[in-house]
Chains A and B, each alone.
Chain A
Amino acid sequence: MKRRDTLKAISLTSLGMAVLPTTDLVAAPDPKPFKTTPARIPEEIERDKKIMADKFLTVAELATIGILADIIIPADGKSGSATQAGVPAFIEFIVKDMPHYQTPIRGGLKWLENHSNKRFGKPFGQITPKQRIEIVEDIAYPEDVKPEFTQGAAFFSQIRNLTVTGFYTTRMGFDDLGYMGNTPNDWQGVPQDVLDKYGLKYDPIYDKKD
């Protein structure tokens, strides 16, 4: 089969499929048909059904995660925010899929509430944005953190990693990053202007066509 025929055949199958918005993936209990990763074997579907039916994080915990996620990935001139990309729903799923996250995330949120109450007399959700940033400044730089904040910093790094992954694995994240792949193409090497910039060139063996 010639490459262009392959490309044609593929564009008729996979690429023609509609892509659902990310927020649909962790669905509220409604009568939609069950949806998870494509091409599952039965035991995988059973497991994902169970995970999605389970609850772990509370509404209040997810609200705090949403606040933190938007501090970590706010909207800027190039793209939207973490909550606009559905990050809390992603984290809600992941902590059920990977139970090793459950204690650090729940405990980290408790650490944050406790610290906020001590410092400002209110839980994290009720203090001002400026006060939140004061706390975040103390836990956002793991190599430069006061001894009393090390557990908070460890928690923040974990939330930061989950938020960054959750954001950049969406269409919004792809566009922000400028990722241009995951599509049929004919790789012809690094563009010439990039080769020139780095002072590199291809060996003549790559010019041979057979």
Chain B
Amino acid sequence: MNLFEIKEQPKVYDVVIVGSGAGGGMAAYQLTKAGAKVCLLEAGGYFDPADPKYITQLKNPWESPRRGASTRTRPFGDFDAAWGGWDIEGEPYTAMPGTQFRWFRSRMLGGRTNHWGRISMRFGPDDFRRGSLTGIGDDWPTSYEDYAPYYDKVDRLIGLFGTKEGIRNEPDGIFLPPPKPRLHELMLKKAATGIGIPVIPSRMAMLTKPINDSRGACFYCAQCGRACQAYADFSSSSVLCIPAAKTGNLTLINNAMVREVLTDPNTGLSTGVSYVNKLDLKEYSVKGKIIILAASTCETARIMLNSKSARFPRGVANDSGIIGKYLNDSTGASRSAFIPALMDRKRYNEDGVGGMHVFTPWWIDNKTLDFPRGYHIEYGGGMGMPGFGFGGGIERVNGLYPDKNGNKKKAGGYGAALKEDIRLTYGAYIGMAGRGEPIPLESNYCEIDPNNVDKYGIPTLRYHYKWSENEIKQAKHMQDTFEQIIHAMGGVALGKKPDASTNYGLAQPGEIIHEIGTVRMGNDPKKSALNGWQQAHDVKNLFVVDAAPFVSQGDKNVTWTILASSWRTSDYITEQVKAKNL
């Protein structure tokens, strides 16, 4: 047997899509609905939130021997829907000395939409032109007006709750009713607005009312992270990929680890992709008239950089040499607090939706600050379900306040008094996390590691990423703001305030899992890989529809923009095919 034999599928698909997350799922949905024969390649296994064999929703902690603690495969807990993680067996990555990047992957149908918080904010008009507004960073080749109709369509197709607020750079959408705030959220809103920090209903992709016959309404178990068996939240598997398959126009290939984009040496056009089947470890290829990459910001860059040929010695569609550069992740910093007023609470079910019912959008003009971009604040707290870690660190709290009888105790302890402390402090904690916009830098990038391959023999990524002073100053501002809010609530901030020695608690690059920018769009083919339609300058039948094309990310978690721009690109492809330009 020839070990290097490549199993070629004779069929030529209209479209081959790599990756089944938000971007790939949306393209598959739109193009199959438009009648195209689509082949969707996913590097991981099949997943359907409604199939009992995948359901962790509504399970109790004692059904996990580790009570829901995290594992290498599920870093966000044993019940989290997403498998893969930061550290996947046989799929390494590296970072240059003195730099770091943590790369989270979900190897499964729906990709990282199985993990995300469903926070669904449109970019505002300013978010597309930060370069010209501030003199630092770059503008998009497109504007809010290009995406606005697609944001509307995504709102209607997928559904999200929120409220019309009329904030100029936080555009309103077509919203379902928001869930009422929990007790600590009402207290947060009162305290924060009292010191000039706005708190408004969050904008998240859960169905507080049914929107069609194929998806249920939210039943408030707070477990969107476990994937919803009623399809009441947005996951790419349940809302896009599975409906795309039902058109009869989709061929889904799971466990397909894509090696490279294949191109015709004469025309320079892409002709298909090659992949390793993770189950039999053999090489395959699949042909398509149009190739769409949506493997995630870093995986898409990796595939393109690995797709070298005589025509494309620097990787496919990389004549500019820009691919891999301008990698950027959200900033993140957090703090938690103990709220004495919430001690000894009346019990009721306040699970709510999975995540916050209110949040703080960016509220300050940066002209008054020493850093150029904003952040939003996400809030946590409440009488949540105990899991691994519950009660941990009680010795840092139970010495702070007197018990029911007015007795102040020594911190720590044991016995019946400790049990009473656990009951008294249950639901009396809050957390807040800032998520901010970084400045994309050419010096932050991923590249092909000259020395390493993964277990499939595919060259791996090497990262080079350092935060700049802009992000560090922003994190400092977050920490100051968190303490102001905590104090306004009459709370006590827990732990030591993060200081300069830890960059003010600024998360490591990659940790917030909002990375974008490695295959940027632009009007100048020398400075960008894609045009404003996310179409490769150098290869007109090659598109990218994940977050790799984005020039910047605002302080808005980018999933809603991935969905809108993938839909927009899908419509463009359909029009171009009809006009016989593709």
Interface 9-residue window, one of B59-67, B449-457, B502-510, B558-566: B59-67
Chain A residues numbered 33-90 whose CB sits less than 8 Å from any CB in chain B: 36-39, 41, 43-44, 47-48, 51-52, 71-74, 76, 78-79, 90
A185 touches B351 (CB 8 A): yes
* Given A140-B414, A186-B219: A198 touches B388 (CB 8 Å cut-off): no
Q: Are A142 and B217 in contact (CB under 8 A)?
A: no
Query: How far, in whole Å, are A22 and B55 apart by their CA atoms in the complex?
Result: 20
Given contacts A74-B415, A198-B341, A200-B190, contact A6 B390 (CB under 8 A): no
Binds A, one of B282-290, B417-425, B535-543: B417-425
The answer to whether the Cβ of A103 comes within 8 Å of any Cβ in the partner chain is no
Q: Could you count the A-B residue pairs with CB atoms below 8 Å apart for me: how many are there? A: 262
Q: Which of B187, B217, B222, B229 contacts A13 (CB 8 A)?
A: B229
Chain B residues with Cβ below 8 Å from A97 are: 65-66, 69, 71
Query: Does chain A have a CB within 8 A of B232?
Result: yes
Q: Is A189 an interface residue (CB 8 A)?
A: yes
Alpha-carbon distance between A169 and B163 when the two chains are bound, in angstroms: 36
Question: CB-CB contacts of B307-344 with A at 8 A, as 1s and 0s?
Answer: 00000000000000000000000000000000001000
**Which of under 10, 10 to 19, 20 to 34, or 35 or more describes the interface residues of B?**
35 or more
State whether the Cβ of A29 lies closer than 8 Å to any Cβ in chain B: no
- B55: chain A residues within 8 A (beta carbon): 13-14, 38-39
Residues of chain B within 8 A (CB-CB) of A168 are 386, 390-391, 422
B173-187 CB contact bits vs A (8 Å, 1 = yes)?
A: 000011111110011
Q: A171 near B62 (CB under 8 angstroms)?
A: yes
**With A5-B216, A143-B410, A177-B423 in contact, is A43–B73 under 8 Å at CB?**
yes
Min Cβ gap A20→B in Å is 8
**Contact present for A14 and B410 (CB under 8 Å):** no
Q: How far apart are the CA atoms of A165 and B414 in the complex, in Å? A: 14
The 8 Å CB contact of B229, one of A10, A73, A198, is: A10
Q: Which residues on B sit within 8 Å (CB–CB) of A36?
A: 64-65
Known: A37-B65, A182-B58. A194 touches B351 (CB 8 A): no
State which of B149-157, B392-400, B516-524 sits at the interface with chain A. Answer: B392-400
B413 contact set on A, CB distance < 8 A = 140-141
Looking at chain B's contact residues, is the secondary structure mostly helix, strand, loop, or mixed? loop
Select B412's contact among A14, A26, A142, beta carbons within 8 Å: A142
Inter-subunit contact B217/A3 (CB<8 Å): yes
Most chain-B Cβ atoms within 10 A of its Cβ — which of A51, A93, A190? A190
Establish whether residues B62 and A93, one from each chain, have CB atoms under 8 Å apart when the complex forms: no
Number of A interface residues in the complex (CB < 8 A): 87
Closest residue to B409 on the A side, CB-wise?
A: A141
- A44, A74, A173, A181: the one contacting B350 at CB < 8 Å is A181
Residues of chain A within 8 A (CB-CB) of B79 are 37
Are B60 and A1 within 8 A (Cβ)? no
Could you give, for residues 67-79 of chain B, a 1 whenever the CB lies within 8 Å of some chain A CB and a 0 otherwise? 1110101100011
CB of B352 closer than 8 Å to a CB of A: yes
Whether the pair A72, B60 counts as a contact (CB closer than 8 A) is no
Report if A2 contacts B (CB, 8 A). yes
- Chain B residues near A48: list those with CB within 8 A: 65
Question: Is A127 among interface residues, defined by CB-CB distance under 8 A?
Answer: no
In the complex, which residue of chain A has the Cβ closest to the Cβ of B412?
A141
Do A210 and B177 touch (CB < 8 A)? Answer: yes
Q: Which of B62, B67, B179 has the most CB of A within 10 A?
A: B62
Q: Tell yes or no: A102 within 8 A of B by CB.
A: no
B387 in contact (CB, < 8 A): yes
Which of A14, A78, A176 is the most central at the interface, judged by chain B CB atoms within 10 Å of its CB?
Answer: A14
Bound form: Cα–Cα A2–B352 in Å:
18
Nearest Cβ distance between residue A154 and chain B, in whole angstroms? 11
Contact A94 B180, CB 8 Å, known A3-B210, A205-B201: no
A-B contact pairs, 23 of them (CB 8 A): A6-B232, A7-B219, A10-B219, A10-B230, A15-B58, A26-B65, A38-B55, A41-B45, A41-B83, A47-B71, A52-B65, A94-B69, A140-B414, A144-B410, A160-B412, A177-B426, A180-B348, A183-B221, A190-B186, A190-B350, A191-B348, A193-B346, A205-B163
If A182-B58, A208-B177 are given as contacts, then 4 extra A-B residue pairs at C-beta distance below 8 Å, sorted by A number, are A169-B387, A184-B219, A187-B351, A202-B186
Task: Give B contacts to A, CB under 8 Å.
Answer: 45, 52-69, 71, 73-74, 78-79, 83, 89, 163, 177-183, 186-187, 190, 201, 209-210, 213-223, 229-230, 232, 341, 345-353, 383-395, 399, 410-416, 418-419, 422-423, 426
